[in-house]
Amino acid sequence: MDAVMKLLKPGDEVISTNDLYGGSYRLFTKIFEDFGLRFRFVDMNNVDDVAAAIGPNTKMMWVETPTNPMMNVVDIAALSAVAKAQNILLAVDNTFASPYLQQPLTMGADIVMHSATKYLAGHSDVVLGSLVVNNDELHERLAFIQNASGAVPGPMDSFLTLRGIKTLHVRMERHCQNGRLIAEYLEQHPKIEKVYWPGFAHHRNHAIAKKQMRDFGGMLSFVPKGADKATAIAIIEKLQLFTLAESLGGVESLAGHPASMTHASIPKTVREESGVVDALIRLSVGIEDAQDLIDDLEHAIG
């Protein structure tokens, strides 16, 4: 992401989603704004709002889909049409989907970013990023920036990621299967208020998810009924198979509390506007036995 932002110059503007991974928001607003880049955060569910936000200095759209942690899905092809009409770059953070579930370049994106730390490497033992482009000029420019300014992967990280990728398709199928079973389990639970998972027919972006994704992935978020921060944390602490951790996309199931962890650097009012309330719990569903995971949740939710 650091390399992608260095394609731009002071005064250039980036339009991004108002429901963005906290670390991306932090990089944009706390680092790159100091170098003169400008960021506008809009609700990307409405393509007309995105088009209306484009100004003379807009040079890029930075899209995340599905979003972390609210699981919103944005229409990549529709945004690509807007970006192309205005001659601006479309970059997509494809971390939650992985290339197995979603391939934004085929829908018109110019740059795809994966946190390879997650599904690509798949075993929570690497921190690595990856960019994918289908344009030689952009490739050369990004490779130049990468070489000139430092984010060069180490050989061990590269080895672990290449080894992980060999099982990506098998892992993703199991992540999706387990994700579906857990989403359905939580959805019918009397103590659960709301479950965010794009595979539900009633999810606000289900039709788009069905159109652009092969399946719905292993990430989901939920809010227990009448819960506050303390209750949500108490549930997470009772889990025995799900480990409390920030990361995601590994073979082991993880549970997180976005408001105090991944999204803590987003001001409370901004974060709550997009649904990241204090009671929200995020799950990265791993590839363990689904019934064991459900039993663990049943024990913790009580």
Ligand X SMILES: Cc1ncc(COP(=O)(O)O)c(C=O)c1O
Nearer to ligand X, 68 or 80 (CB): 68
For ligand X, the closer CB: 94 or 185: 94
Contact flag: residue 31 with ligand X (CB under 6 A)? no
Q: Taking contact as CB under 6 A, which single stretch among the options 21-29, 54-62, 104-112, 200-208 is the one that binds ligand X? A: 21-29
Binder among 95, 98, 161, 212 for ligand X (CB under 6 A): 95
**Span of 16-24, 161-169, 176-184, 275-283 interacting with ligand X by CB under 6 A:** 16-24
Residues 252-281 interacting with ligand X (rule: CB under 6 A): 262
Task: State yes or no: residue 108 binds ligand X (CB under 6 A).
Answer: no
Residue closest to ligand X, measured at CB: 115
Contact between 64 and ligand X per CB under 6 A: yes
Among 93, 110, 215, 296, binds ligand X (CB under 6 A): 93
SS3 of the chain: the string is CHHHHCCCCCCCEEEEECCCCHHHHHHHHHHHHHHCCEEEEECCCCHHHHHHHCCCCEEEEEEECCCCCCCCCCCHHHHHHHHHHCCCEEEEECCCCHHHHCCHHHHCCCEEEEECCCCCCCCCCCCCEEEEECCHHHHHHHHHHHHHHCCCCCHHHHHHHHHHHCCHHHHHHHHHHHHHHHHHHHHCCCCEEEEECCCCCCCCCHHHHHHHCCCCCCEEEEEECCCCHHHHHHHHHHCCCCEECCCCCCCCCEEECCCCCCCCCCCHHHHHHCCCCCCCEEEECCCCCHHHHHHHHHHHHC
Q: How far apart are CA 302 and CA 291, in angstroms?
A: 16
102 scored as a contact of ligand X (CB under 6 A): no
Query: Beta partners for 15?
Result: 40, 61
Q: Find the binder of ligand X among 72, 115, 124, 274 (CB under 6 A).
A: 115
Please name every residue paired with 90 in a beta bridge, in sequence order, or none if there are none: 61
Looking at beta carbons only, is 54 or 107 nearer to ligand X? Answer: 107
Our finding on whether 244 is near ligand X (CB under 6 A) is no
To ligand X, the closest distance from the beta carbon of 136 in angstroms equals: 26
Binding segment for ligand X (CB under 6 A), chosen from 93-101, 103-111, 138-146, 227-235, is 93-101
Buried b (16+ CB within 10 A) or exposed e, 155-192: eebeebbeebbeebeebbebbbebbbebbebbeebeeb
Q: Does 117 bind ligand X (CB under 6 A)?
A: yes
Neighbouring CB atoms inside 10 A of 289's CB total 10
Pick the closer one to ligand X by CB: 64 or 215.
64
Binding mask 166-205 for ligand X (x = CB under 6 A): ----------------------------------------
The answer to whether residue 68 forms part of the interface with ligand X (CB under 6 A) is yes
Mark the segment that binds ligand X (CB under 6 A) among 92-100, 150-158, 187-195, 225-233. Answer: 92-100
Identified binder of ligand X from the candidate list 23, 168, 181, 294, rule CB under 6 A: 23
Interface residues with ligand X (CB under 6 A) are 21, 23-24, 64, 68, 93, 95-96, 115, 117, 127, 129, 262
